[in-house]
Amino acid sequence: MVDIRTFPRGDVVTADPDTTASDLASRMAEEGVGSIVIVEDDRPVGIVTDRDLTVEVLAAGEDPSSVTAENVMTEDPVTADAEAGIFEVLSRMEEAEVRRIPAVDEDGAVVAIVSYDDFVALFGREVAKLGSIAEAESPSYGE
């Protein structure tokens, strides 16, 4: 079974709750990610997305250098066991109505993150493989 640690993601981008919004935005740009997991003692306590920064900071007219992650993060993010299967994680995402979910190890430390887009890409690749198999096994129709 494929667990969510096998997704081709780089290191999870994390930050402390006192990280400023401007620093979070810079990190997102540098790392090419749309979210940062906020941690204390390697355990997820929140998550900040690029949308959070746009809506809660910029659109609200706040100073990005004075607003911290703690001010804009979604607290107590929904997590999944790092060994959870993809359908279990998808179900958790659907129930919680979230697009990103951190995976934690048995000690509760963040070890991975998976997004809705990761699943779309995975399923797209798998459907393409099925298409190739079906095409290879199908008879020729008078080319």
Contacts of 142 (CB under 8 A, 6+ apart): none
Rounded distance, CA 108 to CA 30, Å? 27
Contacts of 132 (CB under 8 A, 6+ apart): none
**What 3-state DSSP class applies to 7?**
coil
The domains of the chain, with CATH numbers, are 4-115 (3.10.580.10)
Series of mean pLDDT values for 10-residue runs along the chain (143 residues): 60 94 97 95 96 96 97 95 87 92 92 83 76 76 61
Model confidence, pTM: 0.81
